[in-house]
A and B are shown apart, each in its own frame.
Chain A
Amino acid sequence: MMRYIKLVNFEINRFSKIYLSLLLITLVSQFAGVIIVTKSLLKDARDIMKEERLSEAAYITNYGSLDFNHIANTLLFVGPIALSAVALIFYIFLIWYRDWFGKNTFIYRLLMVPTSRLSIYLSKATAIFLMVLGLIAFQIIILPMQNALFNSNVPEALLNEMSISTITIANPILSLIIPSTFTQFLISYGAGLMIMSILFTSIMFERSFRIKGIIMGLLYCGIAAVLFLAPFFVMGFGNFHFYPNELFGLLLAIGIILTGLSVWLGAWLLKNRVTV
């Protein structure tokens, strides 16, 4: 157990520089976005008011008031979220392949650590998952600050103040990364874990059987997808209908089984089939 925690910590430290850069980019870009976009929104509003000789109230009835949604839809705001997402998805692969193909073959050392290969597999999964959650947590922390900054920069007459939960519901990308309820949060990130375990296991296939392994890995992904979506196929072609809660129960059960199977298979391959 201690070795598992140490491995998780080790993996996080290895990624810390890139991770800090991602946090920094997000922070700078989003705050810059709030400041710059607010300025241009206000300037546009003033220009229209001047041109059409509208009062502030008339402007609001014609063009609507200014709210945080205007900010949350800009590239400066969404861009760093997308960048972080891409970086971490990419790192799902890199976290394994850098051990084999780095300048030094660290995989020798890693696989000779006196701990189960399952711990090694799980430590990498945990590290990525924790870093994903860390980014979400960071967004949750800075979002109220950005909202407050926006609210203080826009004159009250033009402002439509939004709460954080309304902002996260109204923006499609924010609502994806910060689900509106805790249950939804567990389900979304649980599904994320499942997908990551399937990808990890596909990587293990490739590392075990090389070119043949790529085909096996892709096949495994395909089988996993078919299994997970089986209830929908039953409904589509089998002409059988599941009630929503039955469907949910089935997907949950299949999801848990699939995740368990992937972790077991991945760790087994890492223990018995992987070649250094």
Chain B
Amino acid sequence: MKRYLCSIIIGMVVILSIGTYYVKVASSASSLPKYTFKTLEGSDKELDPVIINASLQNSSNFYEPLTIESNTTTYESERSYLENLTGRQGHEIERLVKEHRSFMRGKDSISSLYEDDDFLAYAWVNSEYTKSGNMEAKFDIGLLEKKDEEETSFQIELPNQGRIMNADVRDVQLVHSKLQVLTMNDVNSNSEQTKEVHLYTIDIANKKVLSDKTLVSESFTYPDQVDFEMPIDVAPSMPNNMVFISLIKGVNHEDGSFEEKLKESKLLSYNYETEKLETVKKESLSLDMARSGYSDGKNLYAVEMKSGKYRIKTFDFSSQTLTNDKELDIAANKEDQYTAAFKNGRVYFLLNRMNQEGKTNKPAKLLIADIKTGKTLYKGETVMNKKNSKIFGLFIDDLEIK
């Protein structure tokens, strides 16, 4: 037996030590605090479509991502390896993958997708850089006819690609059987920088780029700067008539700060149907509001903090007027951070105070209200199932609504 001592010891130590370690790891996940919303007002049924992606952190190195879905907390470490492999995906993409698995291969950018009752369309700029630094780019185009699951996929050269350094697809629409692809491009030039918004019209049946329209083109030299931004799209894959582009002009100071030239900045709207590009009057919609706003292609919703309350303003694209302005029944505080989502005719409003060392955590508050009437449908706050977890802070990453 003595001859086997070495092997027996190694074998036992391996099984006991590694076994104990992983049993402990598995059980430690279940010792983490679970968050749920305690209903203060309204029906907790309203919580069903709410998905909150967040993480539990403390001041040192502790970081554990979690999801609160349908009022249940699940930590990433509690999920199976395969689930975590796929990673956190928007639930919209998840649904599309489930419904059209073959078509959705390699398509994970929601703003590159368009979906209506009959079609699912996709456009992406597939670019490579040659050794000399030039970009070679092709459109990856895909169209799925839902009725008979018929797929069309092809690549076409990006027009005028010699002058483009970078092209980023921001919106895709299908208008009169033609694919409309809105991109933001950086243009190749030596002396000055140029940024452009392009609209490519693609004939899917004939696999041709019908037109390449430059909607906006801005050139500048440092320290001047120009940026294009779009409000958060709450329905990025749905059919929209209009897009909304905010043009930010400013100057970089030597100390590194950026100052916006408010007079030169503007808001533009483009209508796919009428092919009209218009400047939105500043009187009807302030720049700030437009930029922090949420758009669904018809309306722009913006959150405003005013005299201790949050207000939701609704701006109608077609009439270019403010159509609604409702106060939310929730107290505002400068230290709070809000995360908002607009869906199902409701505004979902999550308030969370950043954790500060030594202070007890305030619970996160969730308010669900009707956008039109401002009426509160649900109000609740987080509770933890463990009292001693004050060293942890809950950090909200995003709010998703099914």
Interface residues of A (CB under 8 A from B): 8-9, 12-13, 16, 65, 67, 69, 130-131, 133-134, 136-138, 140-141, 160, 162-166, 169-170, 178, 180-185, 187, 240-245, 248
A67 to B25, CA, bound (A): 20
Give B43-80 as 1s and 0s: 1 = Cβ < 8 Å from A's Cβ atoms: 00000000000000001111000000000000001001
Tell me which of A141, A183, A241 contacts B81 (CB under 8 A): A183
- Considering the complex, give the chain A residue whose CB is closest to the CB of B26: A182
Cβ of B210 < 8 Å from any Cβ of A? no
A13 to B80, CA, bound (A): 39
Identify 11 new A-B residue pairs, CB closer than 8 A, beyond the known A164-B21, A181-B81, A184-B81. A9-B3, A9-B6, A9-B7, A130-B14, A134-B10, A137-B14, A141-B13, A166-B60, A185-B18, A243-B97, A245-B85
The 6 closest A-B pairs by CB, nearest first: A241-B106, A137-B17, A183-B81, A241-B105, A182-B22, A134-B10
Q: Are B82 and A165 in contact (CB under 8 A)?
A: no
A180 to B86, CA, bound (A): 18
Task: Give the Cβ gap from A124 to chain B, nearest Cβ, in Å.
Answer: 14
Q: Which residues of A contact B81 (CB under 8 A)?
A: 181, 183-184, 187
Cβ of B11 < 8 Å from any Cβ of A? yes
Cβ of B87 < 8 Å from any Cβ of A? yes
Q: Are A141 and B17 in contact (CB under 8 A)?
A: yes
Task: Give the Cβ gap from A123 to chain B, nearest Cβ, in Å.
Answer: 11
A158 to B123, CA, bound (A): 54
Given A166-B62, A245-B82: A140 in contact with B21 (beta carbons within 8 A): yes
Tell me which of B18, B60, B97 contacts A65 (CB under 8 A): B60
Cβ of B28 < 8 Å from any Cβ of A? yes
Tell me which of A65, A178, A187, A240 contacts B105 (CB under 8 A): A240
Interface residues of B (CB under 8 A from A): 3-4, 6-7, 10-11, 13-14, 16-18, 21-22, 24-26, 28, 59-62, 77, 80-82, 85-87, 97, 101, 105-106
- Considering the complex, give the chain A residue whose CB is closest to the CB of B83: A245
Tell me which of A164, A170, A244 contacts B85 (CB under 8 A): A244
Tell me which of B7, B77, B97 contacts A8 (CB under 8 A): B7
Given A9-B4, A130-B11, A136-B18: A165 in contact with B87 (beta carbons within 8 A): no
Task: Give the Cβ gap from B134 to chain A, nearest Cβ, in Å.
Answer: 21
Q: Which residues of A contact B22 (CB under 8 A)?
A: 181-182, 185
Given A130-B10, A130-B11, A244-B86: A137 in contact with B18 (beta carbons within 8 A): yes
Tell me which of B11, B61, B86 contacts A166 (CB under 8 A): B61
A121 to B105, CA, bound (A): 42
- Considering the complex, give the chain A residue whose CB is closest to the CB of B63: A169
Q: Are A138 and B60 in contact (CB under 8 A)?
A: no
Given A181-B77, A241-B106: A162 in contact with B6 (beta carbons within 8 A): no
- Considering the complex, give the chain A residue whose CB is closest to the CB of B62: A166
Task: Give the Cβ gap from A4 to chain B, nearest Cβ, in Å.
Answer: 12
- Considering the complex, give the chain B residue whose CB is closest to the CB of A187: B81
A166 to B77, CA, bound (A): 13
Q: Are B13 and A137 in contact (CB under 8 A)?
A: yes
A182 to B28, CA, bound (A): 13
A185 to B17, CA, bound (A): 13
Tell me which of A16, A69, A248 contacts B82 (CB under 8 A): A248
Task: Give the Cβ gap from A273 to chain B, nearest Cβ, in Å.
Answer: 30
Q: Which residues of A contact B16 (CB under 8 A)?
A: 137
Q: Which residues of A contact B85 (CB under 8 A)?
A: 244-245, 248
Task: Give the Cβ gap from A244 to chain B, nearest Cβ, in Å.
Answer: 5
Q: Which residues of B contact A242 (CB under 8 A)?
A: 105
Q: Which residues of A contact B105 (CB under 8 A)?
A: 240-243
Q: Are A182 and B7 in contact (CB under 8 A)?
A: no
Task: Give the Cβ gap from B79 to chain A, nearest Cβ, in Å.
Answer: 10
Q: Are B60 and A12 in contact (CB under 8 A)?
A: no
A65 to B58, CA, bound (A): 13
A200 to B48, CA, bound (A): 55
Q: Which residues of B contact A169 (CB under 8 A)?
A: 61
Q: Are A133 and B14 in contact (CB under 8 A)?
A: yes
Task: Give the Cβ gap from A258 to chain B, nearest Cβ, in Å.
Answer: 20
Q: Are B87 and A170 in contact (CB under 8 A)?
A: no
A163 to B10, CA, bound (A): 26
Q: Are A162 and B60 in contact (CB under 8 A)?
A: yes
Give 12 pairs: A residue, B residue, CB < 8 Å, sorted on A.
Answer: A9-B7, A130-B7, A130-B10, A134-B13, A134-B14, A137-B18, A138-B17, A165-B24, A181-B25, A182-B25, A183-B80, A187-B81
- Considering the complex, give the chain B residue whose CB is closest to the CB of A247: B85
Q: Which residues of B contact A69 (CB under 8 A)?
A: 61
Q: Which residues of A contact B24 (CB under 8 A)?
A: 165
Q: Are B25 and A180 in contact (CB under 8 A)?
A: yes
A130 to B18, CA, bound (A): 12
A275 to B97, CA, bound (A): 56
Task: Give the Cβ gap from A146 to chain B, nearest Cβ, in Å.
Answer: 15
Q: Are A140 and B18 in contact (CB under 8 A)?
A: yes
Task: Give the Cβ gap from B27 to chain A, nearest Cβ, in Å.
Answer: 11
Task: Give the Cβ gap from B392 to chain A, nearest Cβ, in Å.
Answer: 13
A140 to B59, CA, bound (A): 25
Tell me which of B13, B14, B25, B106 contacts A165 (CB under 8 A): B25
Q: Which residues of B contact A138 (CB under 8 A)?
A: 13, 17
A185 to B87, CA, bound (A): 19
Q: Are B61 and A67 in contact (CB under 8 A)?
A: yes
Q: Are A67 and B6 in contact (CB under 8 A)?
A: no
A160 to B371, CA, bound (A): 46
Q: Which residues of A contact B26 (CB under 8 A)?
A: 181-182
A141 to B61, CA, bound (A): 22
Tell me which of A133, A136, A160, A248 contacts B60 (CB under 8 A): A160
Q: Are B25 and A170 in contact (CB under 8 A)?
A: no
Task: Give the Cβ gap from B19 to chain A, nearest Cβ, in Å.
Answer: 9
